[in-house]
């Protein structure tokens, strides 16, 4: 099989590019901080039984460690609960997000905190939150004819202003 | 009938087959026109430039836009082109024209049923709708006719593939020592890929979604049907792309005045597509809960290697064009570009499509990069990407290819080549505007698939310019694309009025490095199909097994939507009512409007 | 063997209008006939190296600046 | 390359070249904004870019007609 030498050169460069891409992604996955993908760690649950769930029945933020918080979020047509989600600054927050009805999205606008929300599955993502501020949250997966109104708010407040509980 | 002294055309030699090709193209272009109309409605609506439908109907428009363009338009064009390629390259008529007519009829009936079901979504009183978008993720539920139409359509494509394989076997019996002609080779490898890919969507539709929409089963597993969709959903993008590749490899070099640079490498490319197109679908699910990171990593590496055949194609096709330019007397490192037939809309259309594909390739690389997907997932970046790939590389090549094929299929000249040139150039410019705006908007976090990306509680922050300006860009781009689509359809329609002319036939020159330079094993379809199946099993057995083990074949429960809302908790009732009051009022208003 | 060649005539007789905008005429008339061995697509190589450079540059920017600089990294 | 029956110079190449150049110039603003953080107002950029492009087109056209007179 005759291959022109320029083509061989391009084949080599193409492979180099591909390996470079895989290497970059791998670097992101093991570097500091190591970027973790949404995985299969979360539980499964019946979306119709969410209201009886110990955490999702009354979704909100709770303190689980020294500077660690857990935020239980329910996405449903066409809202996020709780809204707003209030967390203190300079903490590590793990979001547990599930759906009560159809597939939704959960995206903290302008950041990399982003996940699909699939009924029956709990999406789990941990982020480090530094400065106080406000972020919009959007549902980025079509979820019905009111989809465009589905938004939320993430409020990061200074630690001394945080009242420690549910913002609802 | 005026006469020329040129060669016989395809329609002269194979009138029945040419008729099939024309019919398939006709369905494709009707769908294209409707899809383009729905496209411009969206472009103007979501940017809030011009809104004349309620936002709740936006998703009916979006579903119709997606299904009409990427299922009906692309695939009908594909079967027409492939029928031409098979008949032409084997140089033999179809084995049984009744079979050929049957699959075209099945595909058409399926498309009409699905299309009408979607469009009934505009008429609330009928109570039939399919506002589930092209991806139809459960537990959003469409009317059973939506799934049934899709199933009939799929069966039609399967019979089409069988028809072409039958032609191959018949040809092979008469030419046992010949290499498969390149065009037929593309058709056969592409259809093998299609058979493997459609396993996923066939299982999802026939075993889960259709029985579920008929009420035969209570629940489905949303993650499972979604994964089965993407099992099909990525290879289908290559299914759209292969007709464009067929034209780039076999027609473009000829129009440029050159010859294909390397037939052996082309075969390697198409084998790679067959092998790698399917075991990558999980890259659409990088952010799905319930699928382990390791499976996502495997999908990512497979996807990155799937770049290879496209990168090789870029070289081979451009080199073939350069060969044409040099034969036409072009000189210099870049000066040869000036010696190309830029006034020919078929040539220019394909070249501009290829240029856009190079740009779309880059945004695709970003999409494929597992963790960087967090940045762009489900933002407007993604439609920005695929409007460059399927929306330009594929669609524009199909339009350009039509300009070249048209006389071969009808013995009539094109109505106007200058209008054709204007059309492809306007498409290119319009897409540059729209796609640029979409990519940039996506990086600012603006989501895709929404009627009103204007939120109450926050604003999108921009690195430069403003969201308003991006919206204007997007709307202008979308409008230009619509104008271009109209120019294309009008040009074809007026071409029917041209007198028939004999001698419009065109030949395709042989490759510079012909098929005999490549090992025979490349033509072993059974071998490649078997390896492809093994790769698919390796990539999918464990994730699918894990999904079923975690939440069962029919999922952990849950209702179908839209359904009668049954509120099961007083605590959330008030909140839900408040939230949905706006949407409900809008619905009521719409109904009242109609009744009045 | 080339696949199913229809005819040697390629529409060359349709005059300048046809020729300037449609497919070029029969390749028997070509200025130079370049075979696979003697044709070095150096223009293609140059173009594709430029593309390669753009790809690498854009990738580095998108990954290390846009993505890693984007805040709220998912770490678990 | 005169006398080559295949070499047909047409204005088609100028049109396509112009459009491709226009798109490149258009994208340049995105590159400035995203890569270099230089926020050029679109109200200024696009009219100026358009004027430059039209100027180039006119100049090219003038040069070509001069060239063809000499040739």
- The minimal CB distance from B379 to the residues A21, A77, A140 is found for A140
Q: How far is CA B32 from CA A3, B168, B395, in A?
A: 40, 31, 9
Q: Which parts of B120-181 fold into alpha helices (H)?
A: 144-174
- The verdict on residue A80 lying in a domain is yes
Residues in CB range of B261: below 8 A, 6 or more apart: A4, A7, B253, B316, B317, B319, B320, B323, B511, B512, B513, C36, C39, C41
Confidence class for position B587, pLDDT limits 50, 70, 90: low
- The minimal CB distance from A13 to the residues C42, C52, C68 is found for C52
Q: Is B596 a catalytic residue?
A: no
Q: Which residues of B touch C44 (CB under 8 A)?
A: 315, 318-319, 322
β-partners of residue A44 are A121
3-state secondary structure (DSSP) of residue A92: strand
A153 part of contact set with chain B, CB < 8 Å: yes
Strands A114-117 and A123-129, sheet pairing: unpaired
CB pairs under 8 A between B and D: 73
Q: Which residues of C touch A126 (CB under 8 A)?
A: 74-76
The H or E element spanning position B482 is helix B467-495
DSSP secondary structure letter of residue B412? B
- The verdict on residue B183 lying in a domain is no
Confidence class for position C24, pLDDT limits 50, 70, 90: very low
Pull the structure tokens for residue B24: 């398939």
CA pair distance B351, B471, nearest whole angstrom? 28
Q: Which residues of D touch C24 (CB under 8 A)?
A: 6
Determine, for residues D1 and C29 on separate chains, whether the beta-carbon distance falls below 8 Å.
no
Residue C5 above 70 pLDDT?
A: no
Tell me how crowded residue A82 is: count the other CB atoms within 10 A of its CB. Answer: 20
Residue C64 above 90 pLDDT?
A: yes
D2 part of contact set with chain B, CB < 8 Å: no
Q: How far is CA B418 from CA A35, A50, A75, B199, in A?
A: 53, 62, 53, 44
Residues A24 and A54 reside in one and the same domain: no
Q: Which of B55, B138, B282, B289 to mutate to test the interface with A (most CBs of A within 10 A)?
A: B289
DSSP secondary structure letter of residue B511? P
Closest CA to A68 of A95, A97, A91: A91
Instruction: Give the residue on C whose Cα is nearest the Cα of D1.
Output: C31
- Ordered by start, the domain boundaries in chain D are 15-70
Average pLDDT of chain C, as a whole number:
70
CB pairs under 8 A between B and C: 160
pLDDT at residue A164, as a whole number: 67
Residues B444 and B571 reside in one and the same domain: no
DSSP secondary structure letter of residue B343? T
Q: Give pLDDT tens digits for A95-140.
A: 999 999 999 999 999 999 999 999 999 999 999 999 999 999 999 9
- The verdict on residue B519 lying in a domain is no
Q: Are B506 and B344 in contact (CB under 8 A)?
A: no
Q: Tell me how long chain B is.
A: 596
- The verdict on residue A98 lying in a domain is yes
A5 part of contact set with chain B, CB < 8 Å: no
Closest CA to B344 of D21, D66, C11: C11
Confidence class for position B596, pLDDT limits 50, 70, 90: very low
CA pair distance A1, B453, nearest whole angstrom? 54
Query: What's the number of domains chain B is made of?
Result: 3
Q: Tell me how long chain C is.
A: 76
Residues A57 and A3 reside in one and the same domain: no
Which range among B224-238, B504-518, C26-40 has the greatest average pLDDT? B224-238
Residues B465 and B595 reside in one and the same domain: no
- Percentage, residues of chain C above pLDDT 70: 54
Residues A78 and A125 reside in one and the same domain: yes
Confidence class for position B124, pLDDT limits 50, 70, 90: confident
Residues B352 and B496 reside in one and the same domain: yes
Is residue B301 left, alpha or beta, with left meaning phi > 0 and alpha meaning psi from -120 to 50? alpha
Q: Are B146 and B114 in contact (CB under 8 A)?
A: yes
Q: How far is CA B408 from CA A56, B27, B212, B390, in A?
A: 64, 18, 47, 25
Determine, for residues A120 and B558 on separate chains, whether the beta-carbon distance falls below 8 Å.
yes
Q: Give pLDDT tens digits for D18-65.
A: 999 999 999 999 999 988 888 998 889 999 999 999 999 888 878 877
What mean pLDDT do residues B504-531 have?
Answer: 92
Q: Hunting for tokens 């539709």 — which residue is that? A: B205
3-state secondary structure (DSSP) of residue B467: helix
Tell me how crowded residue B533 is: count the other CB atoms within 10 A of its CB. Answer: 16
Average pLDDT of chain D, as a whole number:
80
Determine, for residues B510 and C3 on separate chains, whether the beta-carbon distance falls below 8 Å.
yes
Q: Chain B: nearest CA to A90, how far in angstroms?
A: 22
- Percentage, residues of chain B above pLDDT 70: 93
Determine, for residues B4 and C13 on separate chains, whether the beta-carbon distance falls below 8 Å.
yes
Q: Are C30 and C45 in contact (CB under 8 A)?
A: no
Tell me how crowded residue B154 is: count the other CB atoms within 10 A of its CB. Answer: 22
A89 part of contact set with chain B, CB < 8 Å: no
Residue D1 above 50 pLDDT?
A: no
Q: Are B541 and B231 in contact (CB under 8 A)?
A: no
Task: Name chain D's partners: 3 or more CB pairs within 8 A.
Answer: B, C
What mean pLDDT do residues B422-449 have?
Answer: 97
Residues A57 and A9 reside in one and the same domain: no
pLDDT at residue B198, as a whole number: 97
Q: B90, B239, B270, B386: which one is catalytic?
A: B386
3-state secondary structure (DSSP) of residue C22: coil
Confidence class for position C32, pLDDT limits 50, 70, 90: low
Pull the structure tokens for residue A123: 């999406």
What mean pLDDT do residues B438-465 have?
Answer: 94
Q: Hunting for tokens 């002294």 — which residue is that? A: B5
Determine, for residues A127 and C70 on separate chains, whether the beta-carbon distance falls below 8 Å.
no
Task: Give the range of the structural domain holding residue A25, as residue numbers without chain letter.
Answer: 1-35
Confidence class for position C19, pLDDT limits 50, 70, 90: very low
Residues B367 and B472 reside in one and the same domain: yes
Task: Give the range of the structural domain holding residue B65, as residue numbers without chain letter.
Answer: 10-143+155-178
Q: Which residues of C touch B4 (CB under 8 A)?
A: 11, 13-14
Residues A76 and A122 reside in one and the same domain: yes
How buried is A20 (Cβ within 10 angstroms: 0-12 exposed, 13-18 middle, 19+ buried)? middle
3-state secondary structure (DSSP) of residue A80: strand
Q: Chain C: nearest CA to D33, how far in angstroms?
A: 12
Q: Is the peptide bond before B139 cis (omega within 30 degrees of 0)?
A: yes
If you compute the radius of gyration of chain C from its CA atoms, what whole number of angstroms results? 24
3-state secondary structure (DSSP) of residue A96: strand
Residues in CB range of B590: below 8 A, 6 or more apart: B54, B56, B124
Residue C31 above 70 pLDDT?
A: no
Task: Name chain C's partners: 3 or more CB pairs within 8 A.
Answer: A, B, D
DSSP secondary structure letter of residue C14? G
What mean pLDDT do residues A34-62 have?
Answer: 93
A102 part of contact set with chain B, CB < 8 Å: yes
Residue B574 above 50 pLDDT?
A: no
Confidence class for position B7, pLDDT limits 50, 70, 90: confident
Q: Which of B54, B224, B264, B287 to mutate to test the interface with A (most CBs of A within 10 A)?
A: B287
Q: Give pLDDT tens digits for B76-118.
A: 999 999 999 999 999 999 999 999 999 999 999 999 999 999 9
CA pair distance A13, A165, nearest whole angstrom? 56
What mean pLDDT do residues B10-30 have?
Answer: 97
Determine, for residues A21 and C52 on separate chains, whether the beta-carbon distance falls below 8 Å.
no
- The verdict on residue B329 lying in a domain is no
Q: What is the CATH number of the domain that holds B487?
A: 1.20.210.10
Residues A54 and A27 reside in one and the same domain: no
Return the higher-pLDDT residue of A96 and D67: A96
In this structure, what are the phi and psi dihedrals at residue B499, rounded to the nearest 5 degrees? -70, 155
Residues B364 and B462 reside in one and the same domain: yes
Q: Which residues of A touch C44 (CB under 8 A)?
A: 6
Tell me how crowded residue B268 is: count the other CB atoms within 10 A of its CB. Answer: 19
pLDDT at residue A43, as a whole number: 87
Q: B448, B482, B488, B540: which one is catalytic?
A: B448
β-partners of residue A68 are A65, A92
Closest CA to B349 of B288, B422, B412, B430: B422
- The verdict on residue B200 lying in a domain is no
Q: Is B449 a catalytic residue?
A: yes
Q: Are B224 and B555 in contact (CB under 8 A)?
A: yes
- The verdict on residue B168 lying in a domain is yes
Judged by 3 or more CB pairs under 8 A, whether A touches D is no
- The verdict on residue B466 lying in a domain is yes
Pull the structure tokens for residue B425: 């150039």
β-partners of residue A124 are A96
Q: Which of B9, B322, B373 to mutate to test the interface with C (most CBs of C within 10 A)?
A: B322
Confidence class for position C76, pLDDT limits 50, 70, 90: confident
Residue B273 above 80 pLDDT?
A: yes
- The verdict on residue B581 lying in a domain is yes
pLDDT at residue B572, as a whole number: 43
- The verdict on residue A167 lying in a domain is no
Q: Are B126 and B120 in contact (CB under 8 A)?
A: yes
Longest dimension (CA), chain D: 52
Q: Among B474, B507, B540, where does a domain finish?
A: B507
pLDDT at residue B590, as a whole number: 54
Closest CA to B317 of B357, B274, B275: B357
Residues A105 and A80 reside in one and the same domain: yes
Average pLDDT of chain B, as a whole number:
92
Angle at B255 between CA B519 and CA B523, to 5 degrees: 15
Q: Are B106 and B153 in contact (CB under 8 A)?
A: yes
Tell me how crowded residue B17 is: count the other CB atoms within 10 A of its CB. Answer: 22
CA A27 to chain centre: 21
- Percentage, residues of chain B above pLDDT 90: 87
Q: How far is CA B188 from CA B57, B180, B281, B405, in A?
A: 40, 10, 22, 21
The H or E element spanning position B520 is none
pLDDT at residue A165, as a whole number: 57
pLDDT at residue A168, as a whole number: 43
Residues in CB range of B129: below 8 A, 6 or more apart: B60, B117, B118, B120, B121, B142, B143, B562
- The verdict on residue A76 lying in a domain is yes
Residues A78 and A144 reside in one and the same domain: yes
CA pair distance A124, A121, nearest whole angstrom? 10
Residue B373 above 90 pLDDT?
A: yes
Query: What's the number of domains chain A is made of?
Result: 2
Report the sign of the C-alpha dihedral through residues D6, D9, D12, D16, in that order. Answer: positive
- The verdict on residue A119 lying in a domain is yes
What mean pLDDT do residues A78-92 have?
Answer: 95
CA pair distance B261, A101, nearest whole angstrom? 54
Residue B577 above 80 pLDDT?
A: no
- Percentage, residues of chain A above pLDDT 70: 97
Q: Are C10 and C25 in contact (CB under 8 A)?
A: yes
Strands A133-138 and A104-108, sheet pairing: antiparallel
Q: B267, B385, B412, B439: which one is catalytic?
A: B385
Determine, for residues D12 and B348 on separate chains, whether the beta-carbon distance falls below 8 Å.
yes
3-state secondary structure (DSSP) of residue A63: strand
Q: Which residues of B touch C67 (CB under 8 A)?
A: 371-372, 374-375
Q: Tell me how long chain A is.
A: 168
Q: Which of D2, D4, D11, D12 to mutate to test the interface with B (most CBs of B within 10 A)?
A: D12
Report the sign of the C-alpha dihedral through residues B76, B77, B81, B84, in that order. Answer: positive
Q: Give pLDDT tens digits for A12-38.
A: 999 999 999 999 999 999 987 899 999
Query: Lowest mean pLDDT: which of B10-14, C7-11, C21-25?
Result: C7-11
Residues A17 and A52 reside in one and the same domain: no
What mean pLDDT do residues B269-292 have?
Answer: 96
Residues A10 and A63 reside in one and the same domain: no
Q: How far is CA B570 from CA A157, B469, B559, in A?
A: 31, 45, 18
Q: How far is CA B134 from CA A23, A105, B60, B279, D43, in A?
A: 33, 17, 10, 21, 38
Q: Which residues of D touch C29 (CB under 8 A)?
A: 5-6
């Amino acid at each position: 099989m005759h291959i022109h030498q320029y083509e061989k050169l391009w084949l080599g460069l193409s492979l180099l590019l591909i390996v470079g891409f895989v290497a970059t992604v791998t670097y992101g996955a093991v570097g500091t901080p190591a970027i973790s993908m949404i995985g299969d760690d979360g539980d499964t649950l019946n979306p119709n039984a969410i209201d009886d769930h110990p955490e999702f029945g009354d979704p909100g933020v709770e303190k689980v460690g020294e500077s660690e918080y857990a935020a239980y979020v329910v996405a449903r047509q066409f809202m996020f609960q709780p809204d707003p989600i209030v967390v203190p600054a300079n903490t590590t927050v793990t979001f547990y997000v599930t759906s009560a009805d159809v597939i939704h999205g959960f995206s903290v606008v302008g950041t990399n905190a982003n996940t699909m929300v699939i009924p029956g599955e709990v999406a789990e993502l941990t982020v480090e939150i530094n400065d106080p501020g406000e972020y919009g949250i959007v549902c980025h997966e079509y979820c019905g004819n009111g989809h465009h109104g589905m938004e939320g708010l993430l409020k990061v407040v200074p630690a001394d202003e945080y009242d420690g509980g549910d913002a609802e | 009938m005026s006469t020329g002294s040129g060669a016989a055309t395809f329609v002269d030699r194979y009138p029945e087959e040419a008729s099939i090709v024309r019919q398939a193209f006709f369905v494709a272009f009707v769908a294209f026109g409707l899809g383009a109309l729905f496209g411009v409605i969206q472009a103007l609506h979501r940017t809030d430039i011009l809104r004349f439908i309620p936002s709740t109907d936006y998703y009916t428009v979006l579903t119709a836009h997606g299904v009409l363009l990427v299922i009906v338009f692309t695939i009908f064009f594909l079967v027409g082109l492939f029928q031409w390629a098979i008949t032409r390259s084997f140089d033999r008529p179809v084995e049984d024209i009744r079979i050929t007519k049957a699959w075209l009829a099945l595909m058409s009936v399926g498309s009409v049923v699905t299309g009408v079901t979607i469009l009934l979504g505009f008429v609330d009183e009928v109570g039939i709708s399919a506002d589930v978008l092209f991806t139809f993720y459960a537990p959003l539920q469409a009317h059973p006719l939506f799934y049934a139409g899709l199933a009939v359509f799929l069966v039609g494509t399967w019979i089409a593939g069988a028809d072409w394989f039958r032609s191959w076997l018949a040809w092979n019996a008469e030419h046992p020592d010949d290499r498969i002609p390149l065009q037929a080779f593309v058709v056969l490898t592409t259809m093998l890929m299609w058979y493997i890919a459609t396993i996923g969507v066939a299982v999802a539709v026939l075993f889960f979604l259709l029985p579920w929409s008929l009420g035969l089963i209570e629940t489905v597993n949303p993650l499972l049907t979604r994964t089965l969709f993407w099992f099909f959903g990525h290879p289908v993008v290559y299914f759209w792309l292969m007709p464009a590749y067929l034209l780039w490899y076999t027609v473009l070099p000829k129009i440029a005045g050159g010859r294909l640079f390397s037939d052996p490498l082309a075969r390697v490319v198409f084998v790679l597509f067959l092998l790698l197109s399917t075991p990558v679908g999980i890259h659409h699910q990088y952010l799905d809960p319930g699928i382990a990171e390791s499976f996502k990593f495997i999908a990512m590496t497979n996807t990155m290697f799937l770049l290879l055949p496209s990168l090789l194609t870029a070289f081979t096709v451009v080199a073939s064009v350069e060969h044409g330019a040099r034969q036409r007397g072009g000189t210099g490192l870049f000066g040869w570009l000036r010696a190309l037939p830029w006034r020919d809309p078929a040539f220019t259309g394909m070249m501009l499509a290829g240029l856009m594909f190079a740009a779309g390739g880059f945004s695709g690389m970003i999409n494929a990069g597992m963790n960087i997907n967090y940045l762009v997932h489900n933002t407007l970046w993604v439609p920005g990407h695929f409007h460059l790939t399927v929306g330009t590389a594929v669609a524009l090549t199909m339009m350009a290819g039509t300009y070249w094929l048209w006389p071969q299929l009808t013995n009539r000249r094109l109505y106007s080549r200058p209008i054709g040139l204007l059309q492809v150039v306007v498409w290119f410019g319009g897409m540059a505007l729209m796609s640029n705006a979409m990519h940039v908007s996506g990086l600012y976090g603006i989501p895709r698939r929404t009627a009103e990306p204007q939120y109450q509680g926050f604003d999108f922050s921009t690195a430069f310019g403003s969201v308003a300006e991006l919206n204007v860009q997007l709307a202008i781009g979308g409008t230009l694309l619509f104008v271009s689509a109209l120019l294309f359809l009008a040009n074809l329609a007026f071409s029917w009025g041209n007198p028939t002319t004999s001698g419009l036939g065109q030949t395709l020159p042989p490759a510079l490095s012909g098929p005999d330079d490549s090992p025979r094993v490349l033509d072993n379809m059974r071998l490649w199909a078997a390896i492809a199946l093994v790769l698919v099993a390796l990539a999918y057995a464990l994730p699918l097994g894990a999904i079923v083990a975690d939440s069962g074949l029919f999922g952990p429960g849950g209702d179908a939507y839209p359904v009668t809302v049954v509120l099961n908790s007083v605590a959330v009732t008030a909140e839900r009512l408040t939230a949905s009051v706006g949407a409900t009022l809008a619905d009521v208003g719409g109904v009242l409007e109609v009744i009045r | 063997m080339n696949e199913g060649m229809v005819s040697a005539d390629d529409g060359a007789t349709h005059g300048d209008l046809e020729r300037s905008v449609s497919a070029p005429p029969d390749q028997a008339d070509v200025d130079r006939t370049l075979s696979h061995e003697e044709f070095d697509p150096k223009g293609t190589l140059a173009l594709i190296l430029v593309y390669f450079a753009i790809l690498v540059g854009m990738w580095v920017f998108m990954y290390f600046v846009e993505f890693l600089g984007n805040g709220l990294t998912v770490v678990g | 390359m005169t006398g080559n029956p295949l070499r047909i110079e047409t204005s088609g190449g100028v049109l396509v070249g112009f459009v491709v150049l226009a798109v490149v110039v258009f994208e340049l603003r995105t590159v400035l904004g995203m890569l270099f953080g230089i926020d050029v107002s679109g109200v200024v950029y696009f009219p100026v870019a358009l004027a430059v492009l039209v100027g180039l087109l006119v100049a090219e056209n003038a040069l070509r007609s001069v060239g063809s007179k000499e040739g």
